[in-house]
Amino acid sequence: MSSRPAAVEALPQPALSIGASARPTSLRRPAAWPLALRMWSRAGWVAWRASAHPVRAMRVLASLRAAARIRDWDTPAGAHAQRSRLPKFVTVRGRHFYALHTPGWPSRAFDDFVRREIDRAALSGPSATTQMAIVAITARCALKCEHCFEWDALNQPEPLSSADLHEVVRRLHARGLGQIFFSGGEPLQRFDDLLSITTMIAADTDAWILTSGVGLTRDRANRLAAAGLTGVAISLDHWDDAAHDRFRGLPGAGAAVTRAAAHAREAGLVVALSLCPTRAFVTASNLERYAMRARDLGASFIQILEPKAVGHYAGQDVALTGEQRRQLEAFCARLNTDPAARHLPSVTYPDWSTRVLGCVGGGDRYLYIDTRGDLHACPFCRTPGRRALDGDLDVSISRLQAAGCPAAGSCAREPAACSPTD
């Protein structure tokens, strides 16, 4: 379906209380069991109400072991087998989150997410079930990151006007996506537009920003939270500030991450960290110290994105070794499953999923829109395509789905070319 369906029933909206009292609260056994039961019961209720074949819907949910496919779709099946049936929960402003790429519950966005998973299962294909979009709203950025995939476009004049940007987001929102991540460049460089587009979609779509943290002041964090922003994914590429500063090409970038995380927590925003692990970084010691730093920053999630030979890395041999990828996989599995890691954030590792399950970009589960408004399979697989402002967006996404991943076949054999966010 190409438009947002009617709500199953009205849901109370969590109060947008701002301040230190809104800091995330992690829920684990035994407190999380009643919450998990309520959430999966809601998923079953949505499926029953939304399906023309309620028995089939219930069978789908049962076959997925209490809506297992409604978990974070970028965690491989192997990790699901290892992890407890009960994930870690983080509670922020009355909503509960267990995966970075799943909308928080209770919310209209969560209900729509469930409905789309039921549609996907019933139709045995992607259909119109795109769940998420990444929208680069600016090429402006004060950093000179070693791995920047937008390097060639960085700090060029903005191709999209404010009206264009609002129309792109309006079209995506009308399609019913559960999550939209705003990236760049540095999205905070277009703060007024960021604030208004967040306000436009926040009632029934989870809005996130992918940020360096530079420019996220206490005032801005509070204003974004009041507008309905769900969370921030802050790039942190080393536990050591000096090493992070060198990687990001800006002195003080690491200190900015610390300040941004504190401001986001105080404003009641979910905090995630995004890590690009280089060959030099991937050691057991560095990963352990990174997990401790993430805990100290109050992060609920860590996202691991492998380096790709695109953008500023184009033509360079930056791919991780097989042993390093296995080390990252073990790190992901440990933090997600080991009871001894219950005090640490959950980890999402899209490249692992791509190798195991295949690419989920290209409009299948997510798509990418660059600073010019062009649709792409993902930030790293660029092919000429339609602009999000041209013609019927549903038709454009269907063509993106039909074309599939530009790196089809290679993702499963090599370090993945497709992964959601940076």
Q: How many CB atoms lie within 10 A of CB 389?
A: 17
Q: Which amino acid is at 224?
A: L
Measured CA to CA, the distance from residue 80 to residue 290 in angstroms comes to 23
Partner residues linked to 280 by β-bridges: none
Q: Is the pTM of this model over 0.85?
A: yes
The two tokens of residue 347 are: 């980890």
Q: At what angle do helices 32-50 and 54-63 cross, to 10 degrees?
A: 150
Per-residue pLDDT tens listing for the chain (422 residues): 446 655 545 444 443 344 433 456 666 666 777 887 888 788 778 877 776 666 666 665 664 443 344 344 455 544 444 444 556 888 899 899 988 999 999 999 999 888 887 777 665 555 557 889 999 999 888 878 877 767 566 667 888 999 999 999 999 999 889 999 999 889 999 999 999 999 999 999 999 999 999 999 999 999 999 999 999 999 999 999 999 999 999 999 999 999 999 999 999 999 999 999 999 999 999 999 999 999 999 999 999 999 988 777 778 999 999 999 999 999 999 998 888 888 899 999 998 888 887 777 777 788 999 999 999 888 887 776 688 999 898 888 888 888 877 665 444 434 444 444 43
Same domain? 99 vs 212:
no
Question: Do 234 and 211 form a contact (C-beta atoms < 8 A)?
Answer: yes
Residue 374 lies in a domain: yes
Same domain? 53 vs 148:
no
Residue 12 lies in a domain: no
Same domain? 233 vs 298:
yes
* DSSP characters over 284-338: HHHHHHHHHHHHHTT-SEEEE----SSGGGTTS--PPPHHHHHHHHHHHHHHHH-
Same domain? 221 vs 365:
yes
Q: Which amino acid is at 16?
A: L
Same domain? 96 vs 141:
no
Predicted pLDDT of residue 189: 95
Residue 14 lies in a domain: no
Residue 420 lies in a domain: no
Same domain? 186 vs 63:
no
Predicted pLDDT of residue 252: 96
Same domain? 192 vs 330:
yes
Is the C-alpha dihedral spanning 295, 297, 298, 299 positive or negative? Answer: negative
Residue 126 lies in a domain: no
Same domain? 296 vs 400:
yes
Same domain? 61 vs 164:
no
Same domain? 380 vs 250:
yes
Residue 152 lies in a domain: yes
Residue 333 lies in a domain: yes
Last residue of a domain, one of 76, 108, 140: 108
The tally of domains found in the chain comes to: 2
Domain of residue 293: give its range: 132-413
Q: Measuring CA to CA, which residue among 86, 135, 89, 136 is closest to residue 301?
A: 89
Measured CA to CA, the distance from residue 158 to residue 320 in angstroms comes to 34
